[in-house]
Structure formats: structure tokens, C-alpha cells
Amino acid sequence: ELKVEQNPLFLSMQEGKNYTIYCNYSTTSDRLYWYRQDPGKSLESLFVLLSNGAVKQEGRLMASLDTKARLSTLHITAAVHDLSATYFCAVEGNAGNMLTFGGGTRLMVKP
Amino acid sequence: GAGVSQTPSNKVTEKGKYVELRCDPISGHTALYWYRQSLGQGPEFLIYFQGTGAADDSGLPNDRFFAVRPEGSVSTLKIQRTERGDSAVYLCASSNLDTQYFGPGTRLTVL
């Protein structure tokens, strides 16, 4: 059974600071996704990582994947208040198949 | 084009009643997924359609839950004899074997 764990579950940080969210998963996977969810809203796709060593960046967010360690990271650079949301990683077991989500990391960026 | 749409956005029902939740996927997407998200948790997989057929229904919690996609586009999730524990946000996603794009969800409350 595929298990996905994120940490931390809650993160409060000051604007301008850097931090990393970690996502560990238990079995081999084809793809790993990062989603953002604002309160009361649905999930917004941020990144899809397809291979070992993949790195993608969008604005202040950068995601990476190490398939050997079964680890993905989401790095936040110089955080701003607008990044406050819950971030989920999700792992796809087989192409075209279901996603298994981590528990989410609730990020609060304080001015 | 339009994204994934779901109706209703909110549904309040009484214990024991029957409910139907509708999902309109992105046009042309062959894969459709249903997930359930409880408060403070990540989404949990329910069922996956490829075209008209249910390719994986291993996430349906019991036989009170059923889903159809008769023409390979719109899908309906059906819940019989609702229980208070069924209260959650039901999310639909579609993909063309790539990123899964999520709808806004239906918030189901069983009184």
C-alpha cells in the first residue's frame, strides 16, 4: 500500500524567509504532484515531477524529486503573504491511475 | 476552455436519504476521478473511470456508494442511505493521462 507523508503539517513563517516542505512516499511511483489549496477552494496544480532529479520552479516555489530516496521537496524562497495556503503532495502509483495524497502542510506567512 | 465543474456546490441532506453528485469533466478528458476530502485531511481516492468504464473502484468505502459515467463524459456519484460519516467535500478530477485537474467540489452535509 502506497503511503505518503508530509512534514511539517503546519508551518508559520515570516515574510522574506526561506523554508522547505518534505514529502516522503513508500513505494516506487511514476509521478509526483504538488497542489495548492486555499481555504474553501479546490486544488490548484503547481508542479508535476516525472523523473529522478527533476526540478521545476515557478516564482518563489521550487519542487524537486529524488526517486531513489522516495522524497520530494517544495522549497519556498523569500516567502510572501500570498503564499499562505495548504500544500499537498500526491503520488501516482501507475500512469493514469489514482493519486495518493499526503496530509498537507498548512503554511501561514506573517507580514 | 472551461475547467471541471461540479453540481451542486453544497448539499444538505438527512441521514438515510439518497443523494447524487454530478461532475462535468474538461472536454476531451478520457479519465475521470472521484475523491473525498474530510476537514483538515488530504483527498482520498474513491473511483477512477477510463472512458465509460470504472477502471478502479477500490476506494469506494462500501456498497452504498456507486458511480456511473454512461457516455464517457459526465459522471454521477450516488450515495444511498446516507450516514453522518459521509459528510465531506467530494472532489472530481479529470485528466488526459497527464495532470489531474480538480473541480470546485461538492460539500455534502448529512444531518
Residue A2 touches partner B, C-beta closer than 8 Å: no
Cell of B85: 460519516
The separation between CA A74 and the C-alpha centre of its own chain, rounded to angstroms, equals: 5
Taken as a whole, chain A contains a residue count of 111
Q: Is B22 strand, coil or helix? A: strand
Each residue's pLDDT tens digit, B67-103: 999 999 999 999 999 999 999 999 999 998 778 999 9
Each residue's pLDDT tens digit, A42-62: 899 999 998 888 899 999 999
CA distance to partner chain B, nearest, from residue A68 (Å): 22
For A97, the closest of B43, B56, B99 (CB atoms) is B56
Give the pLDDT band of residue A87 (cuts 50, 70, 90).
Answer: very high
Cell of A43: 486544488
Give the pLDDT band of residue A96 (cuts 50, 70, 90).
Answer: low
Is pLDDT at B51 greater than 60 in this prediction?
yes
Residues 34-73 of A with CB under 8 A from B: 35, 41-45, 48
Q: Do B44 and A48 touch (CB under 8 A)?
A: no
CA distance to partner chain B, nearest, from residue A43 (Å): 6
Residue A7 touches partner B, C-beta closer than 8 Å: no
Higher pLDDT, B35 or A54: B35
Residue A99 touches partner B, C-beta closer than 8 Å: yes
Decide: B104 and B10 in contact? Cβ < 8 Å: no
Residue whose C-alpha is closest to residue A99's, from B56, B43, B50: B43
**What residues have CB less than 8 Å from A3, skipping those under 6 apart?**
A25, A26, A100
Q: Do B45 and A100 touch (CB under 8 A)?
A: yes
Determine the pLDDT at residue A94.
63
Cell of B111: 444531518
Indicate the helix (H) or strand (E) that contains A50.
none
Q: Do A99 and B50 touch (CB under 8 A)?
A: no
Cell of B53: 468504464
Taken as a whole, chain B contains a residue count of 111
Decide: A30 and A90 in contact? Cβ < 8 Å: no
Helices assigned H by DSSP within chain B: none
Q: Do B45 and A98 touch (CB under 8 A)?
A: yes
